[in-house]
């Protein structure tokens, strides 16, 4: 594909949508969603003129994201990123091996709910002729969606980090980015750069994301020379972080790992500041890597560290799409939204090579992908090749840090864009 060679031209087009987007929704909140993602087209009858679409049927890709409920803010950003990627691909000629077929993104709202995720994934697949699916951001939702997609034999590509997605004999689930266990190793290695004798308190939400990430920390801490002095789960949706922070203070830890989504992490950091607790913090992934985190805690975020499977400063390709996304949406392209763009290109690449809309053939093309250039390879390692378990054998995380209001890559040294600051 030659999209990256013509990015400047394609991104200068400010038409609201050059892709053909369809919205599969279980409720009536279309108007609010349309505003939130910058006017995405919500019905399949809009987009290209009828003459332009009549000759070649589109290629349907499903997008499962929480655009309502507690995770809506993140889901909407992923949808906006997917929309941008589809627009770019379609402007550059669509799927050339299928006569220039345009990608038709069919968005389904999983409402930040596991039960809805199951029914919506099933409905999305049975109601549409899909070539593939991507989603769902949250690991707990993605695990359920992958079960449904596996039974239906429709490939699902996800940026979710749970290691469980690569277990259980799955053959239609693909994870191009680093796993929770890899995040844990990066956090432990970063801790040794902050203190010669790191004593770490680990607090984590009891979800698939939190449990998988924290267990990885616990399992690898000893061999990495890091002492875990506190290991405390909590129920997601904190209303008072004081009891947790009191335990952290009493533990004697000199570093805190908080495995939390956005709202909980904001409350935890605010409580640390209120208590006047001087402790280095690595917020992992989740909510920490979103610009909204900084907007909510302000300068208290400066110097805080985290890990990410994608960051907007990591490569020239990432910087280019970040600039366009920021122009349209007013904030940088955060981890999950950025990886959604890359995933969309991986699917386009696989459909191109398959020269087919058939999900079985697309699955085979995904299983044999080996890409090291362009937006499909837009990840920390710059290469995507899946092993038998659907895991990218080149996937690795980045260590990031808030510096001067921006999330900067600081680890490992080979990927760093700035030195790590000791808080």
Closest by CA to 227, choosing from 283, 188, 260, is 188
Say if residue 88 is preceded by a cis peptide, omega within 30 of 0: no
Q: Give the chain's domains with CATH numbers.
A: 3-178+334-385 (3.40.50.2300), 180-308+398-411 (3.40.50.2300)
Task: Report the chain's mean pLDDT, rounded to a whole number.
Answer: 88
The residue assigned the tokens 């890359």 is 342
For residues 166 and 111, what is the distance between their CA atoms, to the nearest angstrom? 24
For residues 368 and 356, what is the distance between their CA atoms, to the nearest angstrom? 15
Q: Can you read off the two tokens belonging to residue 376?
A: 């499909």
pLDDT of 50 > 60? The answer is: no
**Strands of the sheet with 156-157, listed across from one edge:** 20-24, 103-109, 59-65, 132-135, 156-157, 173-174
Angular region, 39: left φ>0, alpha ψ -120 to 50, beta rest = left
- Higher model confidence: residue 126 or residue 38? 126
Angular region, 407: left φ>0, alpha ψ -120 to 50, beta rest = beta
Band of pLDDT at residue 168, cut at 50, 70 and 90: confident
pLDDT by residue (tens digit) across 312-349?
999 999 999 999 999 999 999 999 999 999 999 999 99
Instruction: Work out the end-to-end distance of the chain between its first and last CA atoms, rounded to an integer number of angstroms.
Output: 44
0.95 exceeded by pTM: no
For residues 174 and 347, what is the distance between their CA atoms, to the nearest angstrom? 11
Band of pLDDT at residue 423, cut at 50, 70 and 90: low
pLDDT by residue (tens digit) across 103-116?
999 999 999 999 99
Closest by CA to 325, choosing from 78, 34, 27, 71, is 78
Per the DSSP assignment, residues forming a β-bridge with 406 are 403
**Close Cβ partners of 189 (under 8 Å, ≥ 6 residues apart):** 224, 399, 411, 412
For residues 202 and 233, what is the distance between their CA atoms, to the nearest angstrom? 8
pLDDT of residue 5: 44
């Amino acid at each position: 594909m030659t999209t990256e060679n013509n990015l400047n031209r394609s991104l200068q087009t400010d038409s609201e949508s050059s892709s053909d987007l369809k919205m599969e929704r279980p409720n009536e909140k279309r108007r609010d969603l349309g505003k939130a993602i910058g006017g995405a087209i919500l019905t399949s009858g809009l987009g290209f003129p009828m003459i332009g679409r009549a000759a070649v049927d589109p290629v349907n890709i499903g997008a499962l994201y929480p655009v309502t409920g507690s995770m809506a803010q993140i889901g909407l950003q992923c949808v906006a990123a997917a929309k941008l990627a589809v627009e770019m691909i379609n402007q550059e000629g669509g799927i050339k091996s299928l006569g220039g077929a345009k990608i038709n993104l069919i968005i389904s709202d999983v409402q930040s709910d596991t039960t809805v995720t199951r029914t919506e994934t099933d409905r999305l697949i049975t109601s549409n002729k899909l070539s593939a699916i991507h989603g769902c951001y949250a690991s707990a939702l993605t695990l359920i969606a992958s079960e449904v997609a596996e039974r239906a034999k429709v490939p699902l590509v996800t940026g979710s980090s749970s290691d469980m997605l690569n277990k259980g004999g799955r053959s239609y689930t693909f994870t191009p980015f680093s796993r929770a266990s890899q995040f844990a190793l990066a956090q432990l290695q970063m801790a040794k750069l902050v203190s010669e004798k790191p004593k770490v308190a680990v607090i984590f939400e009891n979800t698939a994301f939190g449990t998988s990430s924290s267990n990885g920390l616990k399992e690898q801490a000893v061999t990495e020379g890091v002492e875990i002095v506190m290991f405390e789960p909590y129920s997601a949706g904190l209303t008072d972080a004081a009891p947790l922070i009191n335990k952290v203070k009493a533990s004697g830890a000199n570093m805190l790992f908080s495995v939390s989504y956005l709202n909980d992490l904001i409350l935890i950091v605010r409580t640390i500041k209120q208590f006047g607790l001087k402790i280095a913090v690595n917020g992992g992934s989740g909510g920490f890597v979103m610009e909204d985190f900084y907007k909510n805690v302000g300068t208290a975020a400066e110097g805080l560290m985290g890990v990410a499977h994608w960051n907007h400063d990591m490569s020239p390709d990432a910087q280019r799409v970040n600039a366009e996304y920021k122009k349209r949406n007013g904030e940088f392209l955060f981890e999950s939204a950025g990886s959604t763009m890359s995933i969309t290109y991986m699917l386009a690449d696989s459909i191109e090579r398959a020269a087919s809309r058939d999900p079985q053939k697309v699955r085979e093309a995904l299983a044999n992908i080996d890409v090291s250039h362009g937006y499909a390879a837009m990840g920390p390692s710059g290469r995507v090749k899946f092993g038998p378990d659907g895991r990218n054998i080149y996937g690795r995380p980045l260590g990031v840090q808030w510096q001067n209001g921006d999330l900067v890559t600081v680890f490992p040294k080979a990927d760093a864009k700035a030195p790590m600051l000791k808080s």
